[in-house]
Structure 1
Amino acid sequence: MAAYEWLLLPAAGSAMLCLLLVPLGYQVIARGVIFADLAIAQWAALGTLAGLYFLPKHTLAGAPVSSLIFALLAAVAVHLIFRRLADAKEAWIGILYVIGASLAVLLVSGDPHGAQALHRAASGDLLWASWPLVLAVATLAALVWLLAWWCPGWMSGAVFMPVFAVAVTYSVSLAGIYVVFATLIMTPLVLGTLVGKGSFLSSCCAIAGHLAAIGVSVAFDVPVGPAIVVATLAMTLFWFIVLRGFASQNLRALGAESGGSQ
């Protein structure tokens, strides 16, 4: 058992990541800015890569300062797009994303280990999470849930985008772009939009998918990031089927009761 104690940190990181991102995902979907989060995540990853070359020792609670700066700049750009270019917002957000991705490729093109750096930015490596990053994500998750309790309307205000950019920065540093997007969107979209369930159940579903993927990654020596994406989708679809089945049973039971009372 002691041989697997090292998994406690990535497991805790996964749980905190889900608790942070899933509630934000509900607001992202409600605002119709689904691909804006991908663009911000890409710019956060670009900032991480830039930090490797220009600010290698400048970090804040485990995340590169450059990543935070780039993510906040992308959040400002997204805000301006929605205020002034709303008619073609998806096109402009797509441009923002592809520029960030292209700059990342150009930045590492002269580095023999550039491909590895790009892969890590996209897929992450949650198995080697660090305590400062996990604690930072846990702090942000607690802040998001406390704000939802004390001030439920905060997500619809102007403060949402800066908080979201900071959350994405630390999440990308911990797990990579793919995992962040999957965690942010999958369970809120399926269990929230299609079934009408709240953040807590969706967070639990996402955590189950993450933990299952970590187990699969360790057992079969496969990359943990793509495993989390696939496992989270599988877990989400499983609970979608289960919840729809329960809903159908309840409807049939209500129909039978109303028919019997007549």
Structure 2
Amino acid sequence: MNAYEWLILPAVGSAMLCLLLVPLGYQVIARGVIFADLAIAQWASLGTLAGLALLPAYALAGAPLSSLIFALLASGVVHLIFRRLGDAKEAWIGLLYVVGASFAVLLVSGDPHGAQALQRAASGDLLWAGRPVVVATAMLATLVWMLGRWRSAWMSGVAFLPVFAVAVTYSVSLAGIYVVFATLIITPLILGACLGERPALAVCCAIAGHLAAIGCSVVWDVPAGPTIVVVTLAMALIWFLALRGLAAQNLRALRAKSGGSQ
């Protein structure tokens, strides 16, 4: 058992990540611009790289302060795009993402380990999660669920983007861009098509996918980030098919009961 104790923190981090991002994913989908979250995540990652290359290594609860600044900057730009450039918002958000990714490549172009830095920003390193960022993610997840329960209008209004930017900052520090995007979108998109907005069930599915992926990553010695994306997608599809089959079975039973009563 002691040989696997080190997996407790990554497992807890994964669960907190799902609790934080899945409810936000429903809001992202409802707003109709899926790639806004990817653009903000890219700028949060750019902030991390900029902090490493140009700025002192200031951190806030385990995440680089530069990452938070860049994510808030990107969320402000996204807000302006929504307000002023609605007809072309998808194109402008795509441009924001491409510019952030290009700046990231330019920042590390002179670093012999630049390719590794870019890979780490994209794929993350969840298996070696730090305790401070896991604790911060848990606190943010609690805040998001409290706001969703008691101040839902805030989450669908102007407060969403700042909260989202902070959440993405810690999520990218914990797991990388790919895992953040997949956790935000996969279960709300796939299970939402079957069940509507059921964040608790979608979170359970996402956690199951993350934990299964961590197990696969350890057993087969493959990168955790891409494994989480692939396994979470497979898990969501399995749950979707199972729940749709269960719903069809219940409907047939109800019709049979109704026909028998007649």
TM-score by length of 2: 0.98
Show the counterpart of 1:138.
138
Residues 34-45 of structure 1 correspond to what in structure 2 (within 5 A)?
A: 34-45=34-45
CA distance in 1, matches of 2:109, 2:151: 46
Tell me which amino acid in the other structure corresponds to 1:156. Answer: S
Tell me which amino acid in the other structure corresponds to 1:157. Answer: G
Residue pair 2:26, 2:197 contacting (<8 A) in 1 also: no
Identity %: 77
Greater Cα offset, 47-56 or 107-116: 47-56
| Deviation (angstroms), 1:57 | 1.8
Greater Cα offset, 143-152 or 77-86: 143-152
User: How many aligned residue pairs are there?
Assistant: 262
Greater Cα offset, 159-168 or 185-194: 185-194
Residues 61-80 of structure 1 correspond to what in structure 2 (within 5 A)?
A: 61-80=61-80
CA distance in 2, matches of 1:195, 1:244: 9
Residues 232-251 of structure 1 correspond to what in structure 2 (within 5 A)?
A: 232-251=232-251
Q: Which runs of 5+ in 2 are unaligned?
A: none
1:30–1:197 distance in 2 versus 1, CA, 3 Å: closer
CA distance in 1, matches of 2:133, 2:152: 27
CA distance in 1, matches of 2:25, 2:196: 14
CA distance in 2, matches of 1:236, 1:259: 34
Tell me which amino acid in the other structure corresponds to 2:108. Answer: V
Question: What SS does structure 2 have at the residue aligned with 1:186?
Answer: helix
Show the counterpart of 1:101.
101
Question: What SS does structure 2 have at the residue aligned with 1:82?
Answer: helix
Question: What SS does structure 2 have at the residue aligned with 1:157?
Answer: coil
Cα deviation code 1:8-53 (max 9, x no counterpart): 0000000000000000001110111210000000000000000101
| Deviation (angstroms), 1:107 | 0.6
Residues 177-188 of structure 1 correspond to what in structure 2 (within 5 A)?
A: 177-188=177-188
| Deviation (angstroms), 1:122 | 0.2
User: Which portions of structure 1, spanning 4 or more consecutive aligned residues, are displaced by more than 3 angstroms?
Assistant: none
Residues 21-60 of structure 1 correspond to what in structure 2 (within 5 A)?
A: 21-60=21-60
Q: Does 1:129 align with 2:129?
A: yes
1:92–1:185 distance in 2 versus 1, CA, 3 Å: same
Question: What SS does structure 2 have at the residue aligned with 1:28?
Answer: helix
Tell me which amino acid in the other structure corresponds to 1:42. Answer: Q
| Deviation (angstroms), 1:251 | 1.2
Q: Which runs of 5+ in 1 are unaligned?
A: none
Show the counterpart of 1:163.
163
Cα deviation code 1:143-189 (max 9, x no counterpart): 01111222222211111100000000100000000000000000000
Residue pair 2:51, 2:64 contacting (<8 A) in 1 also: yes
Greater Cα offset, 56-65 or 41-50: 56-65
Residue pair 2:194, 2:244 contacting (<8 A) in 1 also: no
| Deviation (angstroms), 1:56 | 4.0
